[in-house]
């Protein structure tokens, strides 16, 4: 039997439970993966929290969009082999001990990359690549990252630096040292942010990435970046569209960047396998403690990626 996590009602983590189900057999073009790690992301909380709709017909609802594991069975027409270690993204129902996914959703896991790091790499990494691609970040740019200590922020900092950009990132003071270690110049958000940023970058900011969706993030971005095509958000689906900035991700009217994100997977795996791109794992939990994992993430207390280890 396979263990899965499901939401039995819309709302908070108290509605998450585990269940035992008969493992499915892979069909044509599919593989079955024994999950060793599954990444936990804010979008997971929003899905069963009702932010994306609350149709009772969708319950019980399985969760999770990314995982890493070992292929245990292959369907017809599949090039992979049983025993291959893979990273799967974007998939459905990743919070499980086993999952059947399209073979096109998996890429090889570098042998040097730990399971927890592999399970938490792709969603935040691909989102960061989408942001940097949409705003054309390149060598010599000065990039402002609002929410640098979050999962996407940690990836965006590193990937922007690899492109030759100077990165300034907002965070609480206790997280400044961690951002500096990744190559960012940290700045504290809150009152006086605009003035602090102007002092740090008197020559101006080329690109702003809003990962938190606050009014402060949008207003400072608009004040500092001349070209609104080089401002992007993955969190402000209210006022950002009317301001003329790019809205990316899974919100209403946003550009999902499906092709960009899918194409980013091999390079993200390569960089992480080389140790050039670090996945900072803040906490791990077994599937049976998924509610605690979600409470930690919702409270903003995770210093790094939260990962489930079936």
Q: Residue 96: which residues within 8 A CB-CB, separation 6 or more?
A: 2, 3, 4, 5, 35, 38, 62, 64, 67, 287, 310
pLDDT at 23: 87
Instruction: Compute φ and ψ for 4, nearest 5 degrees.
Output: -125, 155
Could you give the C-alpha distances from 219 to 190, 205, 236, in angstroms and in order?
Answer: 12, 13, 12
pLDDT higher than threshold 90 for residue 296: yes
pLDDT higher than threshold 90 for residue 153: yes
pLDDT tens digits for range 108-147: 999 999 999 999 999 999 999 999 999 999 999 999 999 9
CB-CB neighbours of 79 under 10 Å? 8
pLDDT tens digits for range 53-68: 889 999 999 999 999 9
What 3 state SS string does the chain have? CEEEEEECCCCCHHHEEEEEECCCCCCCCEEEEEEEEEEECHHHHHHHHCCCCCCHHHCCEECCCCEEEEEEEECCCCCCCCCCEEEECCCCCCCECEEEEEHHHEEECCCCCCHHHHHCCHHHHHHHHHHHHHCCCCCCCEEEEECCCCHHHHHHHHHHHHCCCEEEEEECHHHHHHHHHCCEEEEECCCCHHHHHHHHCCCCCCEEEECCCCHHHHHHHHHHCCCHHHEEECCCCCCHHHHCCEEECCCCCCECCHHHHHHHHHHHHHHHHHCCCCCCEEEEECHHHHHHHHHHHHCCCCCCEEEECC
pLDDT at 3: 98
pLDDT higher than threshold 90 for residue 186: yes
Q: Where are the domains of the chain?
A: 2-121+279-308, 125-247
pLDDT at 84: 98
Distance CA 90, CA 123 (A): 8
pLDDT at 79: 93
Cβ-contact 284, 307 below 8 angstroms = yes
Q: Which class is domain 2-121+279-308?
A: alpha beta
Mean pLDDT confidence for 155-175 = 97
pLDDT at 251: 84
Mean pLDDT of the chain: 96
Residue 152: which of 164, 169, 135, 137 has the closest Cα? 169
Domain 125-247 coded CATH 3.40.50.12240: no
């Amino acid at each position: 039997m396979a263990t899965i996590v499901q939401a039995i009602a819309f709302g908070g983590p108290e509605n998450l439970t585990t269940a035992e189900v008969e493992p499915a057999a892979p069909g044509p073009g599919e593989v079955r993966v024994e999950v060793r790690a599954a990444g936990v992301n804010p979008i997971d909380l929003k899905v069963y929290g009702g932010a994306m709709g609350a149709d009772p017909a969708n319950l019980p609802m399985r969760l999770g969009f990314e995982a890493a594991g070992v292929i245990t069975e292959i369907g017809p027409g599949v090039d992979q082999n049983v025993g291959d270690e893979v990273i799967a993204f974007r998939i459905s129902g990743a919070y499980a001990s086993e999952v059947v996914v399209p073979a096109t959703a998996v890429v090889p896991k570098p042998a040097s990359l730990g399971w927890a790091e592999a399970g938490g790499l792709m969603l935040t990494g691909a989102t960061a690549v989408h942001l940097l691609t949409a705003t054309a970040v390149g060598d010599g740019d000065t990039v402002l990252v609002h929410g640098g200590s979050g999962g996407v922020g940690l990836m965006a900092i590193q990937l922007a630096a690899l492109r030759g950009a100077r990165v300034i990132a907002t965070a609480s003071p206790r997280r400044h040292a961690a951002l500096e270690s990744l190559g960012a110049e940290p700045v504290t958000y809150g009152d006086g942010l605009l003035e602090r940023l102007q002092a740090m970058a008197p020559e101006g900011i080329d690109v702003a990435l809003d990962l938190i969706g606050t009014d402060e993030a949008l207003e400072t971005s608009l004040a500092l970046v001349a070209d609104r095509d080089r401002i992007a958000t993955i969190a402000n689906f209210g006022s950002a569209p009317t301001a003329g900035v790019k809205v990316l991700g899974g919100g209403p009217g946003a550009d999902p960047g499906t092709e960009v994100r899918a194409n980013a997977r091999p390079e993200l795996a390569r960089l992480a396998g080389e140790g050039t791109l670090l996945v900072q794992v803040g906490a791990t939990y077994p599937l049976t403690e998924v509610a605690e994992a979600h409470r930690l993430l919702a409270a903003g207390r995770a210093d790094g990626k939260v990962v489930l280890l079936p």
